Structure 1
């Protein structure tokens, strides 16, 4: 170790400010500072680790089991950082020597309450705060204890989050187990003096394990013997380390509480709030209805019009199981109410509003009878998913204390938000979002294709629209959604802190926290470009016909748009490999999972289909160069399998089975039954292919004299703000360098005359009849109207309203709006065109004005013909 490295290691310091991942988890590569950026004073800062020794962790003997769990985790985390064996958690101060960390709940910890009574700590502002915590450094709290860090929770999860906040800040990633992120060792870690309070802005924050066959199920079966409590122990810890609190468990043929009753007990013991998915009411897994057929109450159809008595009995069992804890409150849960058809299908033809209202009324009667409390005292959620939202739009009544869970369109566009100016609801509002989906226009399950910039734009819209009670996201198998999931839950903790600047900083700070600061900028840029490229079109929607090739001559092949995309992936893969080469070997397993595999697998997939496209095109003209590309298809298909096997060998086979998803050669919306190579054809040839087939090249772009000008939306000439609104550039959002969004979101419509505008000065080489096309990211009218509107004008002429009218569907695209939606989510783009009349060659000014919220502009094209 160099003298500089030794000094850095000895002087590593910890900040408690903000939630920036840079300050939350940078390992011992650089000294950190105090809350406001000032150097830490070792005379007053608290030594969590000092000369390789760690502070003693203490909890009350009677502390809640969730406190006991997190105290043990914190003790282990301190030991990981120090590189020593974990010390046991103490349950009393007597006998303690040196620095102490005390974790407990205000009003439930005798030691904390005694410190408060003695005036040594002040934490009264925590009372009544949902999951709030305060971290306080105290001098000489007890004899023989020179200094202590007191982690006080307003409730048990507040204390849990206060402790895990410390773990993350000392360099233990929430993904240290679930993605093998290593923990850098330090000889000294200091926590800043003073007091720091934090609390979530969204009440329930979590994820839904779904579509988990074959990957998560196959992996869990090999590693744990099934999707059971041994597996869920790691899931619960991951959720809590990310400061989430709510989980919908795996449900494809699985029943959380029935498969392994210890899972439900462990969730509650660790402090996790359990629920069930949008279509599994009353804490009953759908799979349970099809089990235990010897039970006469399980008989008959899943149909309330024909089998209400048996369904009520079945649902009662779920609430009775919740109350089996025997403490009068039950296992901590949010009960899903309502009903969809068996297998997550529509429950009935037409609008079943009256039937659903009766179902919920009967379910709430069961809740009240079993809990012996008013139904409103048990948290409940009603998911307005797919056709259920249609019922709500047509007047379905929802009890005021039930959380209304709106949804996206399964492809990342939020469908509905609370009405502007609506009276507050006791149950509040939530959003069910998707990183993974099985359904039309095509499944997407294999790999992460989610941009954090898109997630930010939609969830910021939701939060500012009043959705502050529940955020839950469908993450498929959890892996490989690590990056967007971490972002989603970070934002859910405090959406107001995730400003556009914090969003722009997030990739770099995430990379620094995960891999250290040396390669943070490079890796952050890699994951950002990966997300942008992958989101252009889901890999399940790509084949050899997805993008156009260029021309063919006897001497060369022009790759066209398809070749340009492959070139981008080739360059990204080179950058990824260069970054990997600079990392220490201990980071390689994590890097492979989080960066190398997604980049390499997607780059390889593009090469495969690119080669298949050339093989198909050249075969038509009996061109023997087709054979070269046939070889390339076979090679890239083999490479795909090698990458999967490499993933399954990580860390001694720890993740065997997790990448088993079929992901190529789709022909319908659903998965193919097996992985298969695209069809290839070989042409008879006299000369070996290697001697006569040059690599395709990309012709240099020719000067455009056709009267077409394309402008990135972020390359505006001027911007005008009014009514507290301003168009703001969000880098990397969408398919180009970035997009423009009018901020703050959540505001009512405005008029073109309000001049909340973007001006673009452009020059046309030729004149003619002009058309202006806006290229937008897909978005929906969250008010339930006829689409989102934006106004355009040319050279000070009259404004024209353009409207993006998309209608989500899970089935046949039988209306223009549904067809437009299917095309938009497949292409990840909406194009709106206005006729601008006759124009001359020369300079022109395009004006784009805000009208509706939730319009995301990526680029503009002005064409004169």
Structure 2
């Protein structure tokens, strides 16, 4: 205490004597990082020495964790290690001061003397400032100050500075080693960052059976041979570096429950990460392990049936015990219930009775929260309800959901959000959020191997959600994290600042990310590789190649496109600095090569029969090429696990998750036939890109926007804003429209297929419609959104498009005008195919 008082008195005296006590920080220039000693800049590292870091030992634990990480980051950059001081009364000539308003002695004194404008921070969520301040105390010439509005704001500020200095958020998770710097300076000025666009932003570790769980058991938490506190510490640091704050922990049968290892929630609290539970894990309970497997160990008896109408008291005790255990941790509670794992809620067969029972479950869960959190009213405890899969129909049937509970809308597991808040729901105190997949196990087919959902699609869907007020919580299903690092980083960057990467410029993210990750020299070629990689995967993900059919011409075009980006990726690899070779393999080369080889394996196998049936010896050549591709997938996966980063990732990559048939070697031709059996007839289609319109119109307050990287053909057109009022069927003439000149070479009936992004309707009663007409004919109105997740939906998400087909009587040869009206939010047209 004497040390703290001494520091206070000395700091106050000398701060009050300074002549420039008050200044408008808002008007200061934005800080920059430089390796040159520009006048008035702050030296982080100069002449082989580093400025020291000063924190208050009574500040949140995450501040100390961030300071230690920053120390290590400076060493990575410069081979110089800063010292960290806690509550010393004497500051160095050039100190780095880190702290939280109201928790840091240093920061609070700087506020008192006007060196920090508290109005820019106080009362704001996760906001921070990084500033260079002149003469803050006697003997202090210049200080670099990182001040946070709360504990996470401070930690984010520290990690943001690391990122500005050149340490990638993926430094550990993807071995992105920074370039060496001889000196580091921060120019005078201030950067004020925050609050975030979305309050709670985080990830769901899921389907971990083939990647992160076996890897963690073997390499990280070797004592428990599972995902434990050492693994989660690395995950939580990644989240802080991404300015994220929320976790749904791994929860498959292969992994013990998060709370089973008592250090896990403690580590989360140390890192200031908010705990949550997935759509089927109410009240922070992991039912797969804690009810189905470990209940007897915890309670000394076997559990009863997982039915609230038959076993209410036992289930209530089970939930209440977890709330008591978690009440001192920052958490968001999932309310409601589903099956023990990812299945529908057991209960009455009558739907209305099931809705009533679900309402009773939620009411009782809130009573538990109210009874165990005596200092906090239940309507202030963060709670979410996730209408995932069949739960959406129960919600739509009239579930009485308390106003303060956040509705977390889910996508259809393939990147297309199923429903968003209507005007009345947008007024709810709890607001809404989104549960979104970039990795998935389930129907119609998994995609657990490679990450291939583009920033353009992620931005389009999540920006649409944001415009419908889904700003309370975003959680992204990232599977094993690897190899979804870039897409995860994009989602968190978007959640932090939703306006920075809007759909119309999200295609530029790959170049920006590559510049930060690999350097400006490599940014554009990497972005070009990724653009084609995403487009090809949108038309059929590598994991979906066994479910989507292509003509021989289309197969040739795919293989040629993959061959080109693989060739470019290999050539670029030769130029990548040695320090980034591992990162390049993990982030660029393995996904591109893996996708290429999967396409070779499947398409060459089909070609082997096509040519063999013609009696062409090329059939056997293609058969061998397919086999070679299959073996090469194994080879590069062994390299990922055993060689990259010295074997650091041993066990993280499985080229055949769940051992699904698509990952096996397909049948190939083994002999040459004498007759032609499988001739593939080329389709006589006229293909017109949606972006080649000749005229367009949008009503006042809206605009037609071209979006690169979205949908088949790599471009789409949609109406902005994404929450415009739908046009009625009988008023389609008032809607935005596009016209196209089409040269019909024959009269009679022609078919026009309009390929669209397979988006879902925004509201429970809505549709995704366009209207189309040729010449003066009455336009036909088409809804491309299936009523449910039926066979049409399954086909749509696998092939990457939904389409409407219309018939038109053409009475003259030559040019005619085709007019398409866009009637609903979320309609994206990609191309017209005319027969």
TM-score higher than 0.5: yes
CA distance in 2, matches of 1:35, 1:638: 51
CA distance in 1, matches of 2:170, 2:702: 38
Aligned ranges for residues 818-857 of structure 1 at < 5 Å?
818-857=790-829
Aligned ranges for residues 124-139 of structure 1 at < 5 Å?
124-139=119-134
Shift of 1:292: 4.2
Aligned partner of 1:74 among 70, 77, 89: 70
Shift of 1:685: 11
Residue of structure 2 in register with 1:792 after alignment:
772
1:792-818 deviation line (CA, Å, top 9, x unaligned): 232354333221131443xxxxxxxx1
Aligned partner of 1:316 among 305, 320, 343: 320
Shift of 1:673: 8.2
CA distance in 1, matches of 2:108, 2:33: 32
Residue of structure 1 in register with 2:305 after alignment:
301
Residue of structure 1 in register with 2:164 after alignment:
169
Residue of structure 1 in register with 2:404 after alignment:
401
Residue of structure 1 in register with 2:422 after alignment:
419
Matched-pair contact (CA < 8 Å) for 2:633–2:655: no
Residue of structure 1 in register with 2:44 after alignment:
48
Where do 5+ consecutive residues of structure 1 fail to align?
A: 1-16, 18-32, 324-329, 550-559, 664-669, 687-697, 810-817
The secondary structure found in structure 1 opposite 2:196 is coil
Shift of 1:378: 1.8
Q: Which runs of 4+ in 1 moved over 6 A?
A: 35-41
CA distance in 2, matches of 1:449, 1:64: 38
Aligned ranges for residues 433-582 of structure 1 at < 5 Å?
433-500=436-503, 502-543=505-546, 546-549=549-552, 560-582=553-575
Shift of 1:623: 4.8
Residue of structure 2 in register with 1:362 after alignment:
364
Shift of 1:259: 3.5
Taking structure 2 as the reference length, what is the TM-score of the superposition?
A: 0.90
Aligned ranges for residues 75-154 of structure 1 at < 5 Å?
75-84=71-80, 86-154=81-149
CA distance in 1, matches of 2:528, 2:710: 13
Distance 1:273 1:171, change over 3 A: same
1:180-210 deviation line (CA, Å, top 9, x unaligned): 0011122233324223222101000001000
CA distance in 2, matches of 1:797, 1:674: 46
Residue of structure 2 in register with 1:678 after alignment:
666
**Residues 1:736 and 2:713 aligned together:** yes
Equivalent residues, number:
785
1:823-846 deviation line (CA, Å, top 9, x unaligned): 111111111122232242222222
Distance 1:861 1:621, change over 3 A: closer
1:594-630 deviation line (CA, Å, top 9, x unaligned): 0000000111111111221122334445654433233
The secondary structure found in structure 2 opposite 1:238 is helix
The secondary structure found in structure 1 opposite 2:109 is helix
1:549-596 deviation line (CA, Å, top 9, x unaligned): 2xxxxxxxxxx2212211111111011112112211111100000000
Matched-pair contact (CA < 8 Å) for 2:435–2:475: yes
Matched-pair contact (CA < 8 Å) for 1:544–1:610: no
Where do 5+ consecutive residues of structure 2 fail to align?
A: 1-24, 675-679
CA distance in 1, matches of 2:819, 2:785: 21
Distance 1:793 1:623, change over 3 A: closer
1:80-110 deviation line (CA, Å, top 9, x unaligned): 22232x2231113534323222111112211
Moved more, 50-59 or 481-490: 50-59
CA distance in 2, matches of 1:766, 1:186: 68
Distance 1:759 1:192, change over 3 A: farther
CA distance in 1, matches of 2:32, 2:724: 33
The secondary structure found in structure 2 opposite 1:90 is strand
CA distance in 2, matches of 1:47, 1:265: 36
Distance 1:344 1:823, change over 3 A: same
Distance 1:188 1:611, change over 3 A: same
Residue of structure 2 in register with 1:262 after alignment:
263
Residue of structure 2 in register with 1:272 after alignment:
273
The secondary structure found in structure 1 opposite 2:622 is helix
CA distance in 2, matches of 1:579, 1:629: 28
CA distance in 2, matches of 1:683, 1:790: 49
Shift of 1:501: 5.3
Aligned partner of 1:391 among 389, 394, 406: 394
**Residues 1:60 and 2:70 aligned together:** no
Matched-pair contact (CA < 8 Å) for 1:759–1:847: yes
Distance 1:399 1:684, change over 3 A: closer
Distance 1:47 1:847, change over 3 A: farther
Shift of 1:487: 0.6
Residue of structure 1 in register with 2:608 after alignment:
615
CA distance in 2, matches of 1:545, 1:306: 45
CA distance in 1, matches of 2:270, 2:35: 39
Distance 1:362 1:422, change over 3 A: closer
CA distance in 2, matches of 1:260, 1:88: 33
Shift of 1:52: 4.1
Residue of structure 1 in register with 2:15 after alignment:
none
Moved more, 312-321 or 257-266: 257-266
Computed over aligned residues only, the root mean square deviation of the Cα atoms, in angstroms, reads 2.5
Distance 1:401 1:255, change over 3 A: farther
The secondary structure found in structure 2 opposite 1:495 is coil
1:425-451 deviation line (CA, Å, top 9, x unaligned): 221101100111111111211111211
CA distance in 2, matches of 1:428, 1:757: 33
Residue of structure 2 in register with 1:228 after alignment:
228
Taking structure 1 as the reference length, what is the TM-score of the superposition?
A: 0.87
Matched-pair contact (CA < 8 Å) for 1:53–1:82: no
CA distance in 1, matches of 2:516, 2:649: 22
Shift of 1:452: 1.1
Shift of 1:538: 2.4
CA distance in 2, matches of 1:347, 1:322: 25
CA distance in 2, matches of 1:241, 1:37: 18
